[in-house]
Amino acid sequence: MTAKMIIMCFSYWLSFSYLYRNIYFTMKLLLDRILQDGRCFPGGILKVDSFINHQMDPDLMCEIGKEFARLFAESGVNKIVTIEASGIVPAIMAGAEMHLPVVFVKKKQPKTMENMLVTNIHSFTKDRTYTVCISADFLTKDDKILFIDDFLAFGNAAQGMIDLAKQSGAQIVGFGFIIEKVFQHGGDALRDAGYRVESLAKVLSLDDCEIKLEDA
Ligand code: 5GP
């Protein structure tokens, strides 16, 4: 083996181990945090409001944004879409990393919004159905969107996004979730329909108030 080949192998190994360490670090950070600070509630609800969706940990959110950016780097995405409120932070972090615009679907219809696209989304945590909206000015047939949200449960928000995308002619290139609750099967329906779904943490079960995570 020549010196040139040895240097090449070494640099490949270095960049691979650097990448692997970063991915592993982000995932480990998130999984450890869920196990440490997550709390489960009856009805299959995981409370992560001390670091994700009420009080927020910017360092963790920044790593989450980087991970979504890495995962979808080659997807052709030109816009990130999310739904208020808890999806906004991870979406904006990914958007900053990818230098892409971020649009959020609104849960209240502003009187001033023109060219409004609307759909209904049922929230099982709040047990109510929202009529949500997005301006057709910001979701168009030229858009290839990545939908980012904090949780994937039954997939109601994701299905609402699919409906809005259909109305506008936009293409969905993928879905990114911080936490997927696998046992509520929203992910199965999306994957079966052919969508790319990436979830940074997968909750396998919350039975008996014990948080069981994949790969933890
Ligand atoms: P889905 O639409 O997939 O049924 O539920 C996803 C939406 O409901 C997310 O936008 C999220 O805000 C909320 N959600 C679903 N499950 C949970 C949960 O276990 N904990 C929290 N905090 N929010 C959840």
The preferred substitution site among 150, 182, 211 for testing ligand 1, maximizing ligand atoms within 8 Å of CB, is 150
| Distance from the Cα of residue 134 to its chain's centroid | 18
**How many angstroms is it from 63 CA to the middle of ligand 1?**
21
The alpha carbon of 181 and the centre of ligand 1 are apart by a number of angstroms equal to 9
pTM of the model: 0.92
How far apart are the C-alpha atoms of 101 and 171, rounded to whole Å? 15
Answer whether 86 contacts ligand 1 (Cβ < 6 A).
yes
The CATH fold assigned to 3-213 is: Rossmann fold (3.40.50)
Residue type, 146: L
Give the start-to-end residue ranges of the domains of the chain.
3-213
- 22-28: average pLDDT: 71
Give yes or no for residue 167 having a pLDDT over 60. yes
Q: How many A from CA of 87 to the centre of ligand 1?
A: 10
Mean pLDDT, the chain, integer: 92
Burial tier of 80 (Cβ tally within 10 Å: 0-12, 13-18, 19+): buried
Report the run of H or E that residue 161 belongs to, with start and end.
Answer: helix 156-168
At residue 117 the predicted structure's pLDDT band, cuts being 50, 70 and 90, is very high
- Sequence-distant (6+) residues with CB within 8 A of 214 are 182, 201, 202, 203, 204
Do 207 and 42 contact (CB within 8 A), yes or no? no
| Residue whose C-alpha is closest to residue 130's, from 175, 151, 160 | 160
